[in-house]
Structure 1
Protein backbone atom coordinates (compact mmCIF):
# COMPACT_ATOMS: atom_id res chain seq x y z
CA UNK A 1 0.00 0.00 0.00
CA UNK A 2 0.96 3.64 -0.44
CA UNK A 3 0.70 5.22 3.02
CA UNK A 4 1.22 8.80 4.22
CA UNK A 5 2.14 9.25 7.88
CA UNK A 6 1.94 12.79 9.27
CA UNK A 7 3.89 13.30 12.48
CA UNK A 8 7.18 11.47 13.01
CA UNK A 9 7.31 11.41 16.80
CA UNK A 10 7.82 8.15 18.67
CA UNK A 11 4.51 6.65 17.54
CA UNK A 12 4.56 7.92 13.96
CA UNK A 13 8.20 6.98 13.42
CA UNK A 14 7.79 3.46 14.77
CA UNK A 15 4.67 2.97 12.65
CA UNK A 16 6.41 4.27 9.51
CA UNK A 17 9.41 1.97 9.94
CA UNK A 18 7.29 -1.09 10.75
CA UNK A 19 5.02 -0.51 7.75
CA UNK A 20 8.05 -0.06 5.50
CA UNK A 21 9.60 -3.30 6.78
CA UNK A 22 6.38 -5.14 5.96
CA UNK A 23 6.45 -4.05 2.31
CA UNK A 24 4.48 -0.81 2.18
CA UNK A 25 5.50 2.40 0.41
CA UNK A 26 5.54 4.97 3.22
CA UNK A 27 5.78 8.74 2.88
CA UNK A 28 6.71 10.44 6.16
CA UNK A 29 5.75 14.02 6.96
CA UNK A 30 6.90 16.26 9.81
CA UNK A 31 7.42 19.98 10.36
CA UNK A 32 10.81 19.43 12.03
CA UNK A 33 13.69 18.92 9.60
CA UNK A 34 15.75 16.90 12.08
CA UNK A 35 13.02 14.25 12.25
CA UNK A 36 12.76 14.17 8.48
CA UNK A 37 16.52 13.80 8.11
CA UNK A 38 16.56 10.94 10.62
CA UNK A 39 14.49 8.67 8.37
CA UNK A 40 15.11 10.02 4.88
CA UNK A 41 17.05 6.87 3.94
CA UNK A 42 14.61 4.45 5.59
CA UNK A 43 11.29 5.55 4.03
CA UNK A 44 10.21 5.75 0.39
CA UNK A 45 9.95 9.55 0.65
CA UNK A 46 9.92 12.23 3.36
CA UNK A 47 8.54 15.76 3.33
CA UNK A 48 9.20 18.62 5.75
CA UNK A 49 6.07 20.78 5.89
CA UNK A 50 3.47 22.36 8.13
CA UNK A 51 0.56 19.93 7.97
CA UNK A 52 -1.90 22.61 9.15
CA UNK A 53 -1.31 24.54 5.89
CA UNK A 54 -3.64 23.17 3.22
CA UNK A 55 -1.54 24.60 0.38
CA UNK A 56 1.46 22.52 1.50
CA UNK A 57 -0.33 19.30 0.54
CA UNK A 58 0.49 19.93 -3.10
CA UNK A 59 3.78 18.17 -2.28
CA UNK A 60 1.95 14.96 -1.31
CA UNK A 61 0.18 12.33 -3.47
CA UNK A 62 -3.03 12.65 -1.50
CA UNK A 63 -5.23 11.20 -4.25
CA UNK A 64 -2.99 8.18 -4.80
CA UNK A 65 -2.50 7.20 -1.14
CA UNK A 66 -4.43 4.17 0.07
CA UNK A 67 -4.17 5.31 3.69
CA UNK A 68 -3.21 8.48 5.55
CA UNK A 69 -2.32 8.39 9.25
CA UNK A 70 -2.37 11.55 11.37
CA UNK A 71 0.08 10.61 14.14
CA UNK A 72 0.62 14.09 15.65
CA UNK A 73 0.91 13.72 19.42
CA UNK A 74 2.12 16.97 20.95
CA UNK A 75 -0.49 19.49 19.73
CA UNK A 76 -4.18 18.63 19.82
CA UNK A 77 -5.22 21.72 17.84
CA UNK A 78 -2.72 20.97 15.08
CA UNK A 79 -3.82 17.34 15.02
CA UNK A 80 -7.49 18.30 14.59
CA UNK A 81 -6.77 20.86 11.85
CA UNK A 82 -4.51 18.38 10.05
CA UNK A 83 -7.13 15.66 10.23
CA UNK A 84 -9.77 17.99 8.80
CA UNK A 85 -7.49 18.85 5.85
CA UNK A 86 -6.56 15.21 5.30
CA UNK A 87 -10.22 14.17 5.37
CA UNK A 88 -10.95 16.81 2.72
CA UNK A 89 -8.02 16.09 0.39
CA UNK A 90 -7.19 12.39 0.73
CA UNK A 91 -9.03 9.78 -1.30
CA UNK A 92 -8.08 6.74 0.82
CA UNK A 93 -8.87 5.77 4.39
CA UNK A 94 -7.86 8.04 7.27
CA UNK A 95 -6.55 6.96 10.67
CA UNK A 96 -6.06 9.60 13.34
CA UNK A 97 -4.43 9.58 16.74
CA UNK A 98 -6.61 10.94 19.55
CA UNK A 99 -5.23 12.85 22.52
CA UNK A 100 -8.36 13.26 24.67
CA UNK A 101 -12.06 12.34 24.95
CA UNK A 102 -13.00 15.67 23.30
CA UNK A 103 -10.58 14.88 20.49
CA UNK A 104 -12.39 11.53 20.11
CA UNK A 105 -15.72 13.34 19.75
CA UNK A 106 -14.36 15.69 17.08
CA UNK A 107 -12.81 12.83 15.09
CA UNK A 108 -16.03 10.81 15.27
CA UNK A 109 -17.95 13.83 13.99
CA UNK A 110 -15.50 14.07 11.07
CA UNK A 111 -16.23 10.46 10.16
CA UNK A 112 -12.65 9.24 10.62
CA UNK A 113 -12.28 5.57 9.64
CA UNK A 114 -10.24 4.52 12.68
CA UNK A 115 -9.16 6.32 15.87
CA UNK A 116 -6.09 5.19 17.80
CA UNK A 117 -4.99 5.83 21.40
CA UNK A 118 -1.39 4.55 21.46
CA UNK A 119 -0.56 5.54 25.05
CA UNK A 120 -3.76 4.04 26.46
CA UNK A 121 -3.39 0.88 24.40
CA UNK A 122 0.28 0.54 25.38
CA UNK A 123 -0.63 0.98 29.06
CA UNK A 124 -3.30 -1.74 28.83
CA UNK A 125 -0.85 -4.13 27.17
CA UNK A 126 1.83 -3.37 29.75
CA UNK A 127 -0.65 -3.97 32.58
CA UNK A 128 -1.49 -7.37 31.09
CA UNK A 129 2.19 -8.24 30.71
CA UNK A 130 2.95 -7.24 34.31
CA UNK A 131 0.04 -9.25 35.68
CA UNK A 132 0.93 -12.29 33.55
CA UNK A 133 4.71 -12.44 33.64
CA UNK A 134 5.16 -14.78 30.65
CA UNK A 135 3.02 -12.73 28.24
CA UNK A 136 4.96 -11.22 25.31
CA UNK A 137 2.09 -9.36 23.63
CA UNK A 138 -1.69 -9.29 23.68
CA UNK A 139 -4.55 -8.25 21.39
CA UNK A 140 -7.88 -7.88 23.10
CA UNK A 141 -10.84 -9.13 21.01
CA UNK A 142 -13.51 -8.20 23.56
CA UNK A 143 -13.98 -8.33 27.33
CA UNK A 144 -13.61 -12.12 27.39
CA UNK A 145 -11.39 -13.21 24.48
CA UNK A 146 -7.83 -12.32 23.44
CA UNK A 147 -5.07 -13.30 21.05
CA UNK A 148 -1.94 -13.52 23.18
CA UNK A 149 1.74 -14.27 22.69
CA UNK A 150 3.15 -16.30 25.60
CA UNK A 151 6.43 -17.98 26.36
CA UNK A 152 6.22 -21.72 25.75
CA UNK A 153 6.03 -23.74 29.02
CA UNK A 154 9.19 -25.81 29.55
CA UNK A 155 7.12 -28.98 29.73
CA UNK A 156 5.97 -28.41 26.11
CA UNK A 157 9.47 -28.29 24.63
CA UNK A 158 10.27 -31.23 22.35
CA UNK A 159 6.64 -32.30 22.00
CA UNK A 160 4.32 -31.88 19.02
CA UNK A 161 1.07 -29.92 18.91
CA UNK A 162 -0.74 -33.24 18.47
CA UNK A 163 0.94 -34.86 21.45
CA UNK A 164 0.07 -31.91 23.71
CA UNK A 165 -3.54 -31.66 22.41
CA UNK A 166 -3.61 -28.09 23.69
CA UNK A 167 -7.12 -27.34 22.49
CA UNK A 168 -8.60 -30.26 24.44
CA UNK A 169 -6.39 -30.03 27.52
CA UNK A 170 -6.13 -26.24 27.89
CA UNK A 171 -9.17 -24.96 25.96
CA UNK A 172 -7.24 -22.52 23.75
CA UNK A 173 -6.32 -22.60 20.06
CA UNK A 174 -2.69 -22.33 18.95
CA UNK A 175 -2.72 -19.93 15.99
CA UNK A 176 1.00 -20.04 15.26
CA UNK A 177 4.47 -20.40 16.74
CA UNK A 178 7.04 -17.63 16.55
CA UNK A 179 10.72 -18.48 16.34
CA UNK A 180 13.17 -15.68 17.04
CA UNK A 181 16.12 -14.82 14.85
CA UNK A 182 18.49 -11.88 15.28
CA UNK A 183 19.23 -9.19 12.71
CA UNK A 184 20.65 -5.67 12.83
CA UNK A 185 18.17 -2.80 12.46
CA UNK A 186 18.71 0.51 10.67
CA UNK A 187 20.55 2.15 13.58
CA UNK A 188 22.90 -0.79 14.03
CA UNK A 189 21.24 -2.30 17.09
CA UNK A 190 20.17 -5.96 17.30
CA UNK A 191 16.48 -6.45 16.56
CA UNK A 192 14.44 -9.60 17.03
CA UNK A 193 12.57 -10.80 13.96
CA UNK A 194 9.66 -13.18 14.30
CA UNK A 195 9.73 -16.06 11.84
CA UNK A 196 6.18 -17.34 11.67
CA UNK A 197 5.28 -20.98 11.12
CA UNK A 198 1.75 -22.34 10.71
CA UNK A 199 1.49 -25.26 13.15
CA UNK A 200 0.05 -28.68 12.37
CA UNK A 201 -0.40 -31.65 14.69
CA UNK A 202 3.15 -32.70 13.70
CA UNK A 203 4.78 -29.34 14.50
CA UNK A 204 7.34 -29.87 17.24
CA UNK A 205 7.82 -27.09 19.79
CA UNK A 206 11.37 -25.88 20.28
CA UNK A 207 13.06 -24.14 23.18
CA UNK A 208 12.35 -20.36 23.25
CA UNK A 209 9.37 -20.66 20.87
CA UNK A 210 6.59 -18.15 21.44
CA UNK A 211 3.05 -19.48 21.25
CA UNK A 212 0.31 -17.28 19.76
CA UNK A 213 -2.96 -18.50 21.24
CA UNK A 214 -6.63 -17.53 21.07
CA UNK A 215 -9.21 -18.14 23.75
CA UNK A 216 -10.91 -17.01 26.92
CA UNK A 217 -8.71 -14.76 29.02
CA UNK A 218 -8.90 -17.04 32.07
CA UNK A 219 -7.91 -20.09 30.00
CA UNK A 220 -4.95 -18.20 28.53
CA UNK A 221 -3.97 -17.18 32.05
CA UNK A 222 -4.09 -20.82 33.19
CA UNK A 223 -1.86 -21.89 30.27
CA UNK A 224 0.46 -18.95 30.92
CA UNK A 225 1.01 -20.16 34.50
CA UNK A 226 1.89 -23.69 33.41
CA UNK A 227 5.53 -24.70 33.99
Structure 2
Protein backbone atom coordinates (compact mmCIF):
# COMPACT_ATOMS: atom_id res chain seq x y z
CA UNK A 1 0.00 0.00 0.00
CA UNK A 2 0.98 3.64 -0.47
CA UNK A 3 0.95 5.39 2.91
CA UNK A 4 1.78 8.99 3.83
CA UNK A 5 2.68 9.74 7.44
CA UNK A 6 2.45 13.37 8.57
CA UNK A 7 4.65 14.02 11.60
CA UNK A 8 7.95 12.22 12.15
CA UNK A 9 8.24 12.33 15.90
CA UNK A 10 8.88 9.17 17.89
CA UNK A 11 5.52 7.64 17.04
CA UNK A 12 5.41 8.69 13.38
CA UNK A 13 8.97 7.57 12.75
CA UNK A 14 8.47 4.20 14.45
CA UNK A 15 5.31 3.62 12.44
CA UNK A 16 7.00 4.62 9.16
CA UNK A 17 9.85 2.18 9.76
CA UNK A 18 7.52 -0.63 10.84
CA UNK A 19 5.23 -0.21 7.83
CA UNK A 20 8.22 -0.08 5.48
CA UNK A 21 9.59 -3.31 6.93
CA UNK A 22 6.28 -5.02 6.17
CA UNK A 23 6.40 -4.10 2.48
CA UNK A 24 4.50 -0.82 2.21
CA UNK A 25 5.53 2.26 0.24
CA UNK A 26 5.83 4.94 2.90
CA UNK A 27 6.24 8.69 2.45
CA UNK A 28 7.21 10.60 5.58
CA UNK A 29 6.33 14.29 5.96
CA UNK A 30 7.53 16.76 8.58
CA UNK A 31 8.18 20.51 8.78
CA UNK A 32 11.60 19.97 10.36
CA UNK A 33 14.42 19.05 8.01
CA UNK A 34 16.45 17.25 10.68
CA UNK A 35 13.66 14.69 11.13
CA UNK A 36 13.27 14.29 7.38
CA UNK A 37 17.01 13.69 6.97
CA UNK A 38 17.04 11.20 9.83
CA UNK A 39 14.67 8.83 8.05
CA UNK A 40 15.22 9.60 4.34
CA UNK A 41 17.35 6.51 3.66
CA UNK A 42 15.08 4.16 5.58
CA UNK A 43 11.70 4.65 3.88
CA UNK A 44 10.54 5.21 0.29
CA UNK A 45 10.49 9.03 0.42
CA UNK A 46 10.67 11.81 3.01
CA UNK A 47 9.62 15.41 2.39
CA UNK A 48 9.96 18.61 4.40
CA UNK A 49 6.83 20.75 4.13
CA UNK A 50 4.19 22.53 6.19
CA UNK A 51 1.16 20.21 6.24
CA UNK A 52 -1.13 23.09 7.30
CA UNK A 53 -0.50 24.79 3.92
CA UNK A 54 -2.92 23.36 1.38
CA UNK A 55 -0.76 24.51 -1.56
CA UNK A 56 2.15 22.40 -0.29
CA UNK A 57 0.19 19.21 -1.02
CA UNK A 58 0.95 19.65 -4.72
CA UNK A 59 4.28 18.02 -3.89
CA UNK A 60 2.55 14.90 -2.56
CA UNK A 61 0.72 12.05 -4.36
CA UNK A 62 -2.19 12.60 -1.99
CA UNK A 63 -4.87 11.49 -4.48
CA UNK A 64 -3.09 8.19 -5.13
CA UNK A 65 -2.58 7.43 -1.45
CA UNK A 66 -4.32 4.48 0.22
CA UNK A 67 -3.82 5.61 3.82
CA UNK A 68 -2.88 8.96 5.36
CA UNK A 69 -1.70 8.92 8.97
CA UNK A 70 -1.70 12.20 10.90
CA UNK A 71 0.90 11.48 13.58
CA UNK A 72 1.61 15.09 14.60
CA UNK A 73 2.17 15.12 18.34
CA UNK A 74 3.28 18.62 19.32
CA UNK A 75 0.61 20.92 17.88
CA UNK A 76 -3.07 20.00 18.21
CA UNK A 77 -4.16 22.80 15.89
CA UNK A 78 -1.75 21.71 13.16
CA UNK A 79 -2.95 18.11 13.50
CA UNK A 80 -6.60 19.15 13.08
CA UNK A 81 -5.87 21.42 10.09
CA UNK A 82 -3.79 18.69 8.44
CA UNK A 83 -6.60 16.18 8.91
CA UNK A 84 -9.13 18.61 7.40
CA UNK A 85 -6.95 19.27 4.34
CA UNK A 86 -6.42 15.55 3.73
CA UNK A 87 -10.17 14.95 3.96
CA UNK A 88 -10.72 17.72 1.41
CA UNK A 89 -8.08 16.66 -1.09
CA UNK A 90 -8.13 12.87 -0.88
CA UNK A 91 -10.32 9.81 -0.56
CA UNK A 92 -7.60 8.04 1.39
CA UNK A 93 -8.43 6.26 4.61
CA UNK A 94 -7.43 8.71 7.35
CA UNK A 95 -5.86 7.61 10.63
CA UNK A 96 -5.40 10.51 13.02
CA UNK A 97 -3.52 10.80 16.28
CA UNK A 98 -5.48 12.41 19.12
CA UNK A 99 -3.82 14.55 21.76
CA UNK A 100 -6.78 15.16 24.10
CA UNK A 101 -10.45 14.29 24.72
CA UNK A 102 -11.60 17.44 22.89
CA UNK A 103 -9.35 16.44 19.98
CA UNK A 104 -11.21 13.12 19.95
CA UNK A 105 -14.53 14.97 19.71
CA UNK A 106 -13.34 17.18 16.84
CA UNK A 107 -12.01 14.19 14.89
CA UNK A 108 -15.27 12.30 15.42
CA UNK A 109 -17.23 15.31 14.17
CA UNK A 110 -15.00 15.33 11.06
CA UNK A 111 -15.90 11.71 10.38
CA UNK A 112 -12.55 10.18 11.37
CA UNK A 113 -13.36 6.70 12.70
CA UNK A 114 -9.77 5.50 13.19
CA UNK A 115 -8.35 7.58 16.03
CA UNK A 116 -5.02 6.63 17.58
CA UNK A 117 -3.66 7.25 21.08
CA UNK A 118 0.05 6.35 20.79
CA UNK A 119 0.60 6.28 24.52
CA UNK A 120 -1.86 3.37 24.60
CA UNK A 121 -1.05 1.71 21.29
CA UNK A 122 2.36 0.70 19.99
CA UNK A 123 3.32 1.32 16.37
CA UNK A 124 3.85 -2.42 15.83
CA UNK A 125 0.27 -3.11 16.89
CA UNK A 126 -1.08 -0.47 14.50
CA UNK A 127 1.03 -1.95 11.69
CA UNK A 128 -0.74 -5.28 12.16
CA UNK A 129 -4.12 -3.54 11.95
CA UNK A 130 -3.19 -1.81 8.71
CA UNK A 131 -1.62 -4.83 7.01
CA UNK A 132 -4.48 -7.20 7.89
CA UNK A 133 -7.42 -5.30 6.46
CA UNK A 134 -10.19 -6.85 8.60
CA UNK A 135 -8.34 -6.97 11.93
CA UNK A 136 -9.56 -4.25 14.29
CA UNK A 137 -7.41 -5.12 17.29
CA UNK A 138 -5.09 -7.90 18.36
CA UNK A 139 -3.75 -9.23 21.67
CA UNK A 140 -0.91 -11.72 21.37
CA UNK A 141 -1.10 -14.52 23.96
CA UNK A 142 2.25 -16.06 22.96
CA UNK A 143 4.23 -16.68 19.78
CA UNK A 144 1.47 -18.93 18.38
CA UNK A 145 -1.90 -17.78 19.73
CA UNK A 146 -3.79 -14.48 19.84
CA UNK A 147 -7.16 -12.98 20.68
CA UNK A 148 -8.27 -10.71 17.84
CA UNK A 149 -11.16 -8.48 16.86
CA UNK A 150 -12.14 -9.21 13.26
CA UNK A 151 -14.58 -7.37 11.01
CA UNK A 152 -17.10 -9.94 9.80
CA UNK A 153 -16.73 -10.89 6.11
CA UNK A 154 -19.72 -9.99 3.91
CA UNK A 155 -20.50 -13.70 3.45
CA UNK A 156 -21.22 -14.04 7.19
CA UNK A 157 -23.90 -11.32 7.33
CA UNK A 158 -27.39 -12.71 7.94
CA UNK A 159 -26.11 -16.11 9.03
CA UNK A 160 -26.07 -17.59 12.51
CA UNK A 161 -22.94 -18.65 14.35
CA UNK A 162 -24.08 -22.25 14.00
CA UNK A 163 -24.36 -21.87 10.23
CA UNK A 164 -20.89 -20.32 9.94
CA UNK A 165 -19.33 -22.94 12.25
CA UNK A 166 -16.07 -21.05 12.65
CA UNK A 167 -14.53 -23.70 14.89
CA UNK A 168 -14.91 -26.40 12.24
CA UNK A 169 -14.31 -24.32 9.11
CA UNK A 170 -11.64 -21.89 10.32
CA UNK A 171 -10.19 -23.48 13.49
CA UNK A 172 -11.10 -20.41 15.55
CA UNK A 173 -13.28 -19.92 18.61
CA UNK A 174 -15.71 -16.99 18.92
CA UNK A 175 -15.51 -15.35 22.36
CA UNK A 176 -18.08 -12.60 21.78
CA UNK A 177 -19.36 -10.09 19.23
CA UNK A 178 -19.06 -6.29 19.22
CA UNK A 179 -21.97 -4.40 17.66
CA UNK A 180 -22.42 -0.75 16.68
CA UNK A 181 -24.53 1.48 18.92
CA UNK A 182 -25.32 5.12 18.13
CA UNK A 183 -24.80 7.60 20.97
CA UNK A 184 -24.91 11.39 21.29
CA UNK A 185 -22.22 13.16 23.32
CA UNK A 186 -22.58 16.24 25.55
CA UNK A 187 -22.24 18.72 22.68
CA UNK A 188 -24.82 16.94 20.55
CA UNK A 189 -22.47 15.13 18.18
CA UNK A 190 -23.69 11.67 17.23
CA UNK A 191 -21.01 8.98 17.45
CA UNK A 192 -20.92 5.25 16.91
CA UNK A 193 -19.54 3.01 19.65
CA UNK A 194 -18.94 -0.72 19.64
CA UNK A 195 -20.60 -2.60 22.50
CA UNK A 196 -20.29 -6.23 23.61
CA UNK A 197 -23.48 -8.24 23.03
CA UNK A 198 -22.55 -10.82 25.66
CA UNK A 199 -21.93 -14.53 25.19
CA UNK A 200 -23.14 -15.52 21.71
CA UNK A 201 -25.08 -18.72 21.09
CA UNK A 202 -25.45 -20.85 17.98
CA UNK A 203 -28.62 -18.89 17.15
CA UNK A 204 -26.90 -15.48 17.31
CA UNK A 205 -27.23 -13.86 13.87
CA UNK A 206 -24.33 -11.87 12.40
CA UNK A 207 -25.19 -8.29 11.39
CA UNK A 208 -23.41 -5.96 8.97
CA UNK A 209 -20.73 -3.99 10.81
CA UNK A 210 -20.28 -6.59 13.56
CA UNK A 211 -16.83 -7.36 14.93
CA UNK A 212 -16.06 -10.90 16.10
CA UNK A 213 -13.69 -11.47 19.02
CA UNK A 214 -11.93 -14.75 18.26
CA UNK A 215 -9.20 -16.90 19.77
CA UNK A 216 -6.86 -19.15 17.81
CA UNK A 217 -3.59 -19.69 15.99
CA UNK A 218 -2.01 -16.53 14.56
CA UNK A 219 -1.92 -17.92 11.02
CA UNK A 220 -5.64 -18.80 11.13
CA UNK A 221 -6.48 -15.32 12.41
CA UNK A 222 -4.37 -13.83 9.60
CA UNK A 223 -6.23 -15.92 7.01
CA UNK A 224 -9.60 -14.70 8.22
CA UNK A 225 -8.24 -11.17 8.64
CA UNK A 226 -7.54 -11.03 4.91
CA UNK A 227 -10.93 -12.36 3.80
CA UNK A 228 -13.12 -9.98 1.79
Q: TM-score w.r.t. structure 2 length?
A: 0.57
1:175 maps to 217
Q: Match of 2:62, SS?
A: coil
Q: Which runs of 4+ in 1 moved over 6 A?
A: none
Kindly provide the CA deviation profile for residues 95-139 of structure 1, in whole angstroms up to 9, marking residues without a partner as x.
1000001000000011113101111335xx9xxxxxxxxxxxxx9
Q: Match of 2:96, SS?
A: strand
From 144, 150, 163, give the equivalent of 2:142. Answer: 150
Aligned-pair CA distance for 1:92: 1.2
Kindly provide the CA deviation profile for residues 8-28 of structure 1, in whole angstroms up to 9, marking residues without a partner as x.
001100100010000000000
From the CA coordinates, give the structure whose radius of gyration is larger: 1
Q: Match of 2:52, SS?
A: coil
Aligned-pair CA distance for 1:140: 9.6
Give distance in 2, aligned partners of 1:3 and 1:151.
28
**Residues 88 and 119 from structure 1, CA distance in 2 versus in 1: closer, same or farther, beyond 3 angstroms?**
same
1:14 maps to 14
Q: Match of 2:63, SS?
A: coil
Q: Within 5 Å, give how 1:42-191 maps onto structure 2.
A: 42-121=42-121, 147-150=139-142, 173-176=215-218
List runs of 5+ in structure 1 lacking aligned partners.
126-138, 153-166, 177-196, 199-227
**Residues 71 and 175 from structure 1, CA distance in 2 versus in 1: closer, same or farther, beyond 3 angstroms?**
same
List runs of 5+ in structure 2 lacking aligned partners.
126-134, 145-172, 174-213, 221-228
Paired positions, count: 142
Q: Match of 1:118, SS?
A: coil
**Residues 26 and 150 from structure 1, CA distance in 2 versus in 1: closer, same or farther, beyond 3 angstroms?**
same
Give distance in 1, aligned partners of 2:110 and 2:136.
26
Give distance in 1, aligned partners of 2:107 and 2:215.
36
Give distance in 2, aligned partners of 1:91 and 1:37.
29
Aligned-pair CA distance for 1:173: 5.0
Aligned-pair CA distance for 1:175: 1.2
Contact 1:68–1:90 (8 Å) recurs in 2: no
Give distance in 1, aligned partners of 2:139 and 2:97.
23
Give distance in 2, aligned partners of 1:140 and 1:4.
20
Contact 1:140–1:147 (8 Å) recurs in 2: no
